[in-house]
Each structure stands twice: as C-alpha cells, then as structure tokens.
C-alpha cells in the first residue's frame, strides 16, 4: 500500500491491512458511486447505533439517517459515455425523475450489475456512439452481455433509448440503434421510441427527458419514492465557468513542437486559468470554443453568392450571416443531413449516389475529406441565407486532452494541438479549431474554455502501482500530465511510456522532457517507434509493443495499469490486437483466452483508453 495514500485520506482507526483492502475496493469508482457508498455506510452505522444489529457507536458519535429500503418500483438509468455528454444527460434525468417522485438510480454502463436486468421494470439507456459505429469503452461489456446468449428474456421491462452520435460519420448513432433493437428482441416494450441526437443534442435531449419522466411515472404508478441519505460532506460547488459559460482565458505561450520537415505541425499552448476557479485532474480535457477562419467564411459566402451583412433570424436570435458562419455554425465538418439537402438543391446525381445504400465507403471518405465549401463548389445549388444556416450543424466546442498536471504547473492548462492543414483541389484547407488555436498569439490572445472531466481515464489511486502509457503523436498529451503528477505525488510505482511518430528528428514531441525524465528515473522506460525514417527500423507502436512483449506481460502480471490515447480508427485496434498477441505468446494462452485476459483488464479498470 502507498504511504502517500495512507497519509492523505482520513481513514481513521483502520489497521493497515483493512486500509489497503478499502483502497482497493474504491479504486476506480466514479464520484457518484463513492457518494452512494458514503450514504450506505452511514445507514449501516445508524442501524447499529439504534441497536437493531446488537452494536452501538461510542457516545457523542454523529450518524446519518438510515437509508430507506429501496422501492421495488424504480427507474434505472444507465449511460455509456465517451466524452461526458451521455453522463450529463443521465444525471440530469436522474434528478428530474426524483423530483417527479420516482425512485431512480444512475449507473455508468461499466458499473451496472447485469444480474439486475432480469428484475428491472423500467430502464432508460443514454448511450453514445464513438467514431464510426463503436460503443464507448465503458459500455462494451454491457452491450456484449445484451448480445450474448446469456441475456435474459425481458417481457417485464419497459425501456427507452436516447442515442448520441455525430452525423459526420456514416454509422450515426449505431450503438443506440443496436441497444434499442436488442432490448426489443429480448421482449422488452418501448416507453418511447428511440431518439437519435447529433452533436447539438440539447434541444432533442431536453424534450425526450421530459417525456420519458412522465411516461415512466405513469408506467411505475407514480407512487415510488427515492431512497434518501444525508451526505457526509457538502455537495461539490458547481464551478462558475462551464461549457455553457466558458472562461475567457489568456494564452500565455504558443509555440511549435515540430521541425521544418514534419509531416504536420504540432503546437504547445499554455493557457492561464488564473481567476477562474477551474481545476482539473490528469486525464481531463479542456473544452475550447473556437471560431471559423475568416478565409473559410469568405469562400462559403462567395460560393453561395450571398451577402454576409444580411441579417438572419433563427431560434429567437438575429445576427448577420457572416457572424452566424463565424461563431455559430460548423463549416469544416460535413454531416449526412446537409449532404442530403445539398443533393436535393443541386440535383446532382453524383452527390445523390454517394448517399445510397452500399456506398458507405464513399460516404465515409466524403464526410472525412471534404468541407462545406467543397460541396458547395463541386455541386452548386441555390440557398437563401436562413435555410442555409438552419441546414448547418451548430458549432460545437472541441475537446483537447490536457497535457499538464496542476500539481506541477499551478493555475495553467497545457495543450498539444496538431494543425489540420492540407491541400484539396489545389486549395488550402484547415481545421477550424486547430487553426484558431494556432492563431492565438500576443498579449491580447484569449480562448473561451471549460474543463471536461474524464473519470474514465484516471491514474490509479494506489501510487505504488506501475503505469504503462501508449500515446503516439498528440496522443502523448495526457501522459505528459500523468508523469508530472506522478512525480509530484512521489509515486513509487514505475512509469513506462510508448511514443510513436513518423520522423524522429522533426516529430519527437517533448523529446527533451522525456529524456530528462528518464535521466531522473521519473520515467522507468521510454520506448519509441518511428514509421517513416529510413535510418531507423520502420515500426509503429504496436510493433514496438510486440518487440518488448515479454517485459510488458510481466508488468501486467504484476498489476500494472495500461493507458492508450490517440487515434480510434487504426492505432487503438492495432494496439489491442498486439496486446492479445503478447498475452497469448508470453502467457502461454490460446488467442481466445488471451482475448478474455485483455477484456478482464478492461473490466478491472486497468486497461483504459481515451481515443478519438
């Protein structure tokens, strides 16, 4: 057990063995679960103090009221979240259900006890889709159980699904659709039809939430009361600044991390949070509200042949068209609904064909490679200003893994940002958010920011545990914060970093820092993989993992935590496949058993991913 933990937590009169056991029980649990445990312990104490279990507390002890027996009629809310949106909606739904007189409990999908499913009467799932059709990491186990032969018949269950997704991917809300179909196939009845939400989910989610609470109350009889406990500590104060009310932060440093010959530029930004009251933990993200580049806005107006100064009224707001396109709408990310409308307005069969069934590969390429202006130029069609603004998706903030620890940098948050900058049809195209951040230089540079907590991607509470970090490219960002934090903690566990890029000389991000960390034994190991250097053996991080597989397996067997951050489409699946190969080879297991081993790491919260 880490002495650091033992001296910082108020564990009271427990002996060292029970202290260590308690730490391992709560390790990795989310805040909501820890608060429930707090109330549960208070209830047990009250029961014993009142003599119902033949025990008493010392005179003068303060106890909380007992937890009421849990009603049989309750609404269970389960969320699967990759970026926190599903969690926010689920928690909001839980509060609304309790206010309506329902007994409600809220679970992260990874914490939901699947044995309870056969007994549920009312279940609501809020689940996002990651990338092109994948479930969030914390929901994989539950979804696999639902799809398996072990899943029970659910004729007694009424359910509803709120699906979150991104219509810039062909398999929009795919996970929510699969869950909805499977629950129905198991015999469950829908409280409400599934609702599919895009990135701008607020309006649809709010209307669904109000309806599902009403219908659930009617289904459950409306008489159930939620269990109540007295908190043993005050509830955390909501920060003054949030996604809806961002903080105007000063950008105090902004410089390139890459050399002239790099395949893309990567920048390091240091943002001051002084005066905001904002705090973050290693693994959290910084949300940034950006603006579209002026050149992109001008090109769109030119392609539309519309006047940027004309006013547009929409959803109760009246603004000049240029302002709508600069700060209110997405211009660098396409969506399928917009393509459908453009195909209809242009009457261009080529665009319409891309949207047909069986053309998913072409649609995926179109959504990934083209921007709004490219579609307007290739497939011209007439638009009026209001209809065009209405057809575009509202601008959404971008989330960047924080590349620092407040234990090391105080009131700052550091970012590692790769610039999206490429040529298409002999014209330069840039990513809106990365170009915006790159432009923030000088004394007056400001960014509107907020903290996005990521409880799925946390360092182990026990600082004696070893940590393995796999972060090629800008995926290394959170691990810079991890290493800073582990050093500040005085963690005794070892730290092992895997980093990969195309070129050693121009793209080895934070090279001097990692070398210094190795010299000072803050990093126990640092393994590198470069895929385009002729003078160095060409390999990717998954290749490097296999080369050191014996040592990696030994670390896992000794209890190490493993973290992966970066590309979800290719890198993350390739790393996962490499892990299975390593366990099979060095653990003497079949591939099926090795796959089970890796899945257990996920279930035990020792294999954590932050992929995008």
Residue 51 has pLDDT above 70, yes or no: no
Tokens of 63: 């106890």
Fold of the 247-290+397-452 domain = Elongation Factor Tu (Ef-tu); domain 3 (2.40.30)
pLDDT per residue as tens digits for the range 273-298: 999 999 999 999 999 999 999 999 99
Among all chains, which residue has been given the structure tokens 């929510």? 176
State the pLDDT confidence band at 610, using cuts at 50, 70 and 90. very high
What pLDDT, on a 0 to 100 scale, did the predictor assign at position 612? 86
Give me the CATH code for the 75-220 domain, please: 3.40.50.360
Query: Hey, where are the domains in the chain?
Result: 1-67, 75-220, 247-290+397-452, 294-391, 467-611
Query: Higher confidence at residue 303 or residue 131?
Result: 303
Whole-number pLDDT of residue 38: 60
Instruction: Please count the other Cβ atoms lying within 10 Å of the Cβ belonging to residue 269.
Output: 25
| Partners of 470 in beta bridges | 498, 564
- Report the percent of the chain where pLDDT is more than 90: 72
Contact (Cβ atoms closer than 8 angstroms) between residue 367 and residue 422? no
| CA 212 centroid distance within chain | 25
Higher local confidence (pLDDT), 168 or 205: 205
294-391 under CATH 1.20.990.10, yes or no: yes
Q: Does residue 112 contact residue 160 with C-beta atoms inside 8 Å?
A: no
* Fold for the domain defined by 467-611: Rossmann fold (3.40.50)
CA gap 313, 305 in Å, rounded? 19
Q: Is the dihedral of CA 312, 315, 319, 325 positive or negative?
A: negative
Q: What is the mean pLDDT of residues 193-208?
A: 89
**Among residues of the chain, what percentage have pLDDT more than 70?**
85
What confidence category does residue 169 fall into, taking pLDDT thresholds of 50, 70 and 90? confident
pLDDT classification of 404: cutoffs 50, 70, 90: very high
Mean pLDDT for all residues in the chain = 87
pTM comes to 0.81
pLDDT given for residue 35 in this prediction = 52
Residue 491 CA to residue 5 CA, distance in Å, equals 10
Quick check: 43 pLDDT over 70? no
- Residues 199-214 as b/e (b if ≥16 CB within 10 A, e otherwise) read bebeeebeebbeebbe
Residue 287, SS3? strand
Structural element, H or E, at residue 32? helix 31-49
Using DSSP's 3-state secondary structure scheme, residue 370 falls into: coil
pLDDT tens per residue, range 449-498: 999 999 889 999 999 999 999 999 999 999 999 999 999 999 999 999 99
Coil vs helix vs strand at 581: helix
Q: How much is the pLDDT for 28?
A: 54
Q: Provide the pLDDT for residue 203.
A: 83
pLDDT bucket at 45, cuts 50 / 70 / 90: very low
- Of the two residues 310 and 19, the one the predictor is more confident about is 310
For residue 112 the two structure tokens come to 């939901």
Task: Please indicate whether the domains covering 75-220 and 467-611 agree at the CATH topology level.
Answer: yes
DSSP bridge partners of 80: 127
8 A C-beta contact, residue 416 and residue 435 = no
| Count of alpha carbons within 13 angstroms of residue 150, beta-carbon side | 9
Q: How far apart are CA 163 and CA 468, in angstroms?
A: 33
Beta-bridge partner residues of 128: 164
Rounded average pLDDT over 208-216: 93
CB 188 within 8 A of CB 194: no
Please give the Cα distance from 387 to 208 (Å, whole number): 25
CA distance 217 to 234: 30
pLDDT given for residue 138 in this prediction: 83
- Which run of H or E residues covers position 595? helix 591-603
Residue whose C-alpha is closest to residue 180's, from 209, 215, 207, 154? 154
Question: What are the strands, taking DSSP E only, across 201-349?
Answer: 247-256, 266-272, 285-289, 311-314, 317-320
Tell which wins on pLDDT, 476 or 131: 476
CA 551/CA 358 separation, integer angstroms = 45
pLDDT above 60: residue 30 = no
More confident residue, 6 or 215: 215
Is pLDDT at 600 greater than 60 in this prediction?
yes
Round the CA-based radius of gyration of the chain to a whole number and report it: 26
Q: How confident is the model at residue 61 (pLDDT cuts 50, 70, 90)?
A: very low
Q: How far apart are the first and last CA of the chain?
A: 34
CA 87, 117, 110 angle in degrees (round to 5)? 40
Tell me the H-state helices in 309-462.
321-323, 336-346, 349-354, 360-369, 372-378, 385-391, 406-409, 432-438
Strand partners, 267: 256, 417
Tokens of 397: 């903030």
Residue-by-residue DSSP string for 482-524: HHHHHHHHT--S-EEEEEEES-HHHH-TTHHHHHHHHHTTSSS
Confidence of residue 50 (pLDDT cuts 50, 70, 90): very low
Q: What is the pLDDT of residue 134?
A: 86
Helices 511-519/477-489 angle, 10° precision:
30
Model confidence pLDDT, tens digit, residues 311-335 = 999 989 999 999 999 999 999 999 9
């Amino acid at each position: 057990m880490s002495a650091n933990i033992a001296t910082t937590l108020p564990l009271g009169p427990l002996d060292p063995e029970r202290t260590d056991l308690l730490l391992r029980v709560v390790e990795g649990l989310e805040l909501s679960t820890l608060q429930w445990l707090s109330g549960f312990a208070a209830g047990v104490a009250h029961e014993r103090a009142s003599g119902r279990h033949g025990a008493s507390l010392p005179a003068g002890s303060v106890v909380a009221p007992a937890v009421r027996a849990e009603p049989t009629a309750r609404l269970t809310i389960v969320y699967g979240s990759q970026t926190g949106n599903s969690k926010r909606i689920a928690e909001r739904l839980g509060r609304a259900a309790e206010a309506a007189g329902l007994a409600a409990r809220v679970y992260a999908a990874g914490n939901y006890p699947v044995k309870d499913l056969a007994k549920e009467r009312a279940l609501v799932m809020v689940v996002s889709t990651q990338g092109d059709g994948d479930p969030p990491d914390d929901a994989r186990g539950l979804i696999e159980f639902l799809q398996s032969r072990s899943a029970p018949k659910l004729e007694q269950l009424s359910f509803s699904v709120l699906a979150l997704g991104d219509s810039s991917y062909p398999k929009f809300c795919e996970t929510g659709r699969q869950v909805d179909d499977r629950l129905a196939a198991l015999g469950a009845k829908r409280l409400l039809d599934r609702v599919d939400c895009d990135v701008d989910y607020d309006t649809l989610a709010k209307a669904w939430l109000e309806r599902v609470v009403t219908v659930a109350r009617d289904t459950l009889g409306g008489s159930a009361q939620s269990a109540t406990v007295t908190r043993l500590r005050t509830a955390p104060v909501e920060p003054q600044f949030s996604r809806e009310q961002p903080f105007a932060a000063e950008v105090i440093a902004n410089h390139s991390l890459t050399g002239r010959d790099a395949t893309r530029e990567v920048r390091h930004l240091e943002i001051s949070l002084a005066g905001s009251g904002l705090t973050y933990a290693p693994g959290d993200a910084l949300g940034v509200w950006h603006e579209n580049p002026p050149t992109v806005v001008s090109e769109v107006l030119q392609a539309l042949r519309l006047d940027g100064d004309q006013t547009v009224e929409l959803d109760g707001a009246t603004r000049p068209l240029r302002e709508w396109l600069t700060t209110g709408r997405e211009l660098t990310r396409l969506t399928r609904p917009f393509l459908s409308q453009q195909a209809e307005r242009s009457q261009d069969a080529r665009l319409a064909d891309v949207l047909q069934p069986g053309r998913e590969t072409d649609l995926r390429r179109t959504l990934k490679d083209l921007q709004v202006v490219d579609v307007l130029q290739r497939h011209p069609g007439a638009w009026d200003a209001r209809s065009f603004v209405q057809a575009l998706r509202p601008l959404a903030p971008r989330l960047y893994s924080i590349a620092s620890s407040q234990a090391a940098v105080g009131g700052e948050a550091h970012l590692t940002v790769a610039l999206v900058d490429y040529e298409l049809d002999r014209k330069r195209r840039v990513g809106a958010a990365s170009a915006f951040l790159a432009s923030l230089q000088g004394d007056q540079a400001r960014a509107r920011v907020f903290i996005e907590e990521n409880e799925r991607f946390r360092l182990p509470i026990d600082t004696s545990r070893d940590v393995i970090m796999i972060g090629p490219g800008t995926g290394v960002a959170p691990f810079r914060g991890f290493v800073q934090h582990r050093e500040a903690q005085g963690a005794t566990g070892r730290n092992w970093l895997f980093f990969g890029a195309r070129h050693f000389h121009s793209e080895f991000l934070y090279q001097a820092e990692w070398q210094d960390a190795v010299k000072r034994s803050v990093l126990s190991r640092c393994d590198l993989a470069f895929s385009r250097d002729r003078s160095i053996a060409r390999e990717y991080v998954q290749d490097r993992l296999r080369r050191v597989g014996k040592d990696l397996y030994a670390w896992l067997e000794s209890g190490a935590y493993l973290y992966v951050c970066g590309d979800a489409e290719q890198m993350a699946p390739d790393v996962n496949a490499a892990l299975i190969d390593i366990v099979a080879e060095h653990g003497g297991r079949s591939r099926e058993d090795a796959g089970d081993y890796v899945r257990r790491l996920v279930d035990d919260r020792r294999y954590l991913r932050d992929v995008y």
